[in-house]
């Protein structure tokens, strides 16, 4: 079960919303993720130009991507999902 009743996976539509919010002077919005049913941790969408906006020597910024993780490697997230929502994520079997 997800919060699909009040959300959408239509990314073209959400990009239109983002453009309208940005045009209205908003820098971002706070929202609940559709798979975070406990509504404890909020998500943030920040509106800025598309593409990589990380630091460069010519244009330093406060945001730099320090690394990425593959979701299957983040067992701490699977454990937190089980502890907070009682949802257990099972591994996909190698063969059926």
pLDDT in tens, 3-52: 665 667 788 888 888 889 889 999 888 888 777 677 777 888 888 776 66
b or e along 51-60 (b: 16 or more beta carbons within 10 Å of the residue's beta carbon)? Answer: eeeeeeeeee
48-94 confidence digits (pLDDT tens):
776 666 666 677 666 666 778 887 788 888 898 888 888 888 877 77
Which residues are bridge partners to 28 per DSSP? 46
d(CA 86, CA 34): 16
């Amino acid at each position: 079960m997800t919060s699909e009743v009040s959300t959408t996976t239509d990314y073209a539509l959400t990009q239109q919303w983002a453009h309208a919010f940005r045009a209205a002077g908003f820098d971002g919005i706070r929202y609940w993720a559709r798979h975070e049913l406990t509504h404890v941790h909020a998500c943030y969408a920040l509106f800025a130009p598309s593409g990589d906006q990380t630091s460069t020597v010519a244009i330093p910024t406060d945001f730099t991507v320090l690394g990425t993780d593959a979701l299957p490697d983040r067992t701490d997230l699977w454990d937190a999902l089980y502890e907070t929502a009682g949802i257990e994520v099972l591994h996909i079997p190698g063969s059926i």
